[in-house]
């Protein structure tokens, strides 16, 4: 019951956040210089045509009124149409989102599957060769721009060696290189976080007790240290996901994947307000829900954490 109350409270708290984000972007976009109707029709359009287009887009009304109408429509599931290409924003988004979801899921799983074991290994063999090697590689990946790594990997593995397809999203194989590119940074973060949090737990008294009573090293790590050591790592998955959603934009651009990121970039370049707004709203809601889920998960795996 308390959990349900907490979930409802958190979901309600999401509303002002969404309103704040959308209002900010909507108002700034509307106040930006340049008449959208003129931009859409081109410089040789007649005054009448521009006026008609303005009326069609509802640009004659006050900004706040327009914003209110827009948000009411959003609540009904209508995100409007693109100013420039005329497509329905939500349909276009839905047709592209599977590619982004595949890419995101692959990247998150990759960073968990690779990041956590190496972090544990580095912590268990603290100050050993493996520890330093992992940290150096992690540091390298954290410092490289993802798009640069993607470009270089694309040229080397896909074009020079021809091992993997370089562009497109036709099959799962197409996602291997993009997923590696996208997860590079978060693998690095995961390794470092796992290592630090494991090392913190290894120092604790109850681990010493386990050693003293003669438990094997394997049992100490897997039974005693891991359970507490991985708690912060679990909570970090949420923030990693946010980073991955942001990074997906760049990766999709490098590998020419028709996902939501490329939709966003094109819309940003031509200032297509309905498209930018739609993508931002959906992603903000998504990130908010993921963070809520992570917090709930945290309370489930760690009974000391009280929700509310």
Partner 1 sequence: MAIIRVAYTGIKGIGNGCPSKRARGIFMKKGKKAKLSNKSQMGMIIFRFKKNKLAMVGLAIIAFLMLLCLSASLYIDYQDVYSQSMANRFIPPFTTREHIFGTDQFGRDLFARIIYGGRISLLASIGVVALSLVAGVVVGGFAGYFGGRVDNILMRICDIFMAVPRMLLAMAVVSALGQGTFKMLIALSLAQFPQFARTVRASIINLRNQEYVEASKCCGTSSVRIIFKHVVPNGLGPVIVSATLALGSTILAISSLGFLGIGVESPTPEWGTILSENRTNIRYYPYLGLVPGIFIAISVMCLNFCGDGLRDALDPRTKN
Positions that interact with partner 1 (CB under 8 A): 14, 16-18, 20-21, 24-25, 28-29, 32-34, 126, 139-140, 142-148, 151-152, 155, 159, 199, 242-243, 245-247, 249-250, 253, 264-265, 267-269, 271, 276, 279-280, 283-284, 287-288
Nearer to partner 1, 46 or 143 (CB): 143
Least distance (Å) from partner 1 to the CB of residue 303? 25
Least distance (Å) from partner 1 to the CB of residue 244? 9
Give dist(CA 225, CA 261) in Å, integer.
Answer: 39
12, 293 Cβ separation under 8 angstroms: no
Nearer to partner 1, 257 or 267 (CB): 267
Least distance (Å) from partner 1 to the CB of residue 16? 7
Nearer to partner 1, 49 or 284 (CB): 284
Nearer to partner 1, 43 or 47 (CB): 43
Nearer to partner 1, 174 or 252 (CB): 252
Least distance (Å) from partner 1 to the CB of residue 245? 5
Least distance (Å) from partner 1 to the CB of residue 46? 26
Task: Map tokens 């390794």 to a residue.
Answer: 191
């Amino acid at each position: 019951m308390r959990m349900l109350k907490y979930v409802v409270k958190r979901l309600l708290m999401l509303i002002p956040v969404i309103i704040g984000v959308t209002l900010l972007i909507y108002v700034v976009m509307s106040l930006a210089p340049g008449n959208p109707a003129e931009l859409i029709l081109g410089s040789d359009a007649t005054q009448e045509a521009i006026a008609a287009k303005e009326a069609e887009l509802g640009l004659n009304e006050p900004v706040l009124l327009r914003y209110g109408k827009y948000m009411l429509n959003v609540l009904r599931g209508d995100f409007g149409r693109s100013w420039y290409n005329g497509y329905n924003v939500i349909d276009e988004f839905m047709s592209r989102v599977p590619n982004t979801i595949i890419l995101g899921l692959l990247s998150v799983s990759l960073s968990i599957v690779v990041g956590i074991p190496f972090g544990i290994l580095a912590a268990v063999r603290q100050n050993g060769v493996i520890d330093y090697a992992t940290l150096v590689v992690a540091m390298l990946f954290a410092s490289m721009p993802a798009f640069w790594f993607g470009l270089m990997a694309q040229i080397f593995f896909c074009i020079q060696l021809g091992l993997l397809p370089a562009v497109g999203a036709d099959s799962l194989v197409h996602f291997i290189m993009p997923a590696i590119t996208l997860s590079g940074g978060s693998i690095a973060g995961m390794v470092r976080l796992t290592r630090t949090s494991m090392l913190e737990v290894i120092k604790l008294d109850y681990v010493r007790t386990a050693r003293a009573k003669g438990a094997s090293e394997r049992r100490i790590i897997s039974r005693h240290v891991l359970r507490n050591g991985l708690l912060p790592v679990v909570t970090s998955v949420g923030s990693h996901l946010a980073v991955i959603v942001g990074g997906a934009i760049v990766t999709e651009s490098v590998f020419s994947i028709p996902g939501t990121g490329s939709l966003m970039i094109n819309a940003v370049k031509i200032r297509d307000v309905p498209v930018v707004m739609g993508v931002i709203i959906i992603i903000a809601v998504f990130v908010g829900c993921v963070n809520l889920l992570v917090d709930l998960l945290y309370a489930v795996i760690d009974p000391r954490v009280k929700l509310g």
